[in-house]
Amino acid sequence: MKFKHFVLTRYNLGIYDRKQKLRDKKRIVPEEWMENRWKLFTKFCVPSVSNQKCKDFVWIIVFDPKTPVGVLDEAEKVVPPNTIVCTGDNFRKKSIEVVESLLTDEDRVITSRIDNDDAIHQDFVGNIQEWFKIRKRTGVLTYSKGWVWDWLSNKLYHLRYIKNHFLTFIEKRGAKPVKTVLRDRHTDLTSRFQTFRVETESHMWLESVHEDNLLNYARGDKVAMSKLKKQEYGLT
């Protein structure tokens, strides 16, 4: 059964809307937000995606149409070769458009999501594909075990959370465009579709917590930083 795997990342859509606010109710200053987010993107997200043992996937990163050309050029330079950097007003719509343009005769489409300030384990993509090759099922796949790293205070937490934002959606090809993992909020997907909880020895995702987070916060069971094997996430 042929399939194609895509990893989807939203970068800065809507950041230039002056109504956007941070958690502390302060208005976002786009230039400051972009500078801080670039540091996180290149510290966590890019190294972890580049570090995937399995390279058989396409990474789609969607930027706001108002993003300076220079930023897009720099993004093209730091991401791995199997990446498409594009712009669009709607993350889901643009992702579907790009995915559809790259499909040929695949029977199944696999889409996973990762935020631009987080990281995934080096086996994240490979394990998903191996699971599918054996099970050949459609629905939601979740790695429930991950790390939460409050990197400003340098504290690490172990967390089990099924409805995390690193979900994968596996679907059949049809006459209509694919729906992708973005079809619903990550907190709703596991309630609407058959969900397969995959347990692994390693923590398959790492959520970074920092001052620009809108919703995420440090939570879980606090553990020693030595528990985190940074090289497995491409981190230094």
Give the chain's end-to-end CA distance (angstroms, integer).
38
Which residue type sits at 220? G
**Helix or strand holding residue 94 (H, E):** helix 91-102
From the first residue on, what is the mean pLDDT of each consecutive set of 10 residues in the chain (236 residues)?
97 81 67 93 97 98 97 98 97 98 97 97 98 97 96 92 96 94 89 94 94 62 96 96
Strands (E) across 64-167 are located at 83-87, 108-113, 119-120, 139-143, 145-150, 155-160
pTM for the model stands at 0.94
Q: How far, in whole angstroms, is CA 96 from its chain's centroid?
A: 15
Model pLDDT, residue 27: 74
Model pLDDT, residue 21: 54
Specify the pairing of strand 145-150 against strand 205-209: parallel
DSSP 8-class letter at 117:
T
Per-residue model confidence as pLDDT tens digits over 178-188: 999 999 888 88
Residues 136, 138, 143, 148: what is their CA dihedral angle, to the nearest 10 degrees?
Answer: 140
What structural domains does the chain harbor?
3-233 (3.90.550)
Model pLDDT, residue 63: 98
Per-residue model confidence as pLDDT tens digits over 208-222: 997 655 445 677 899
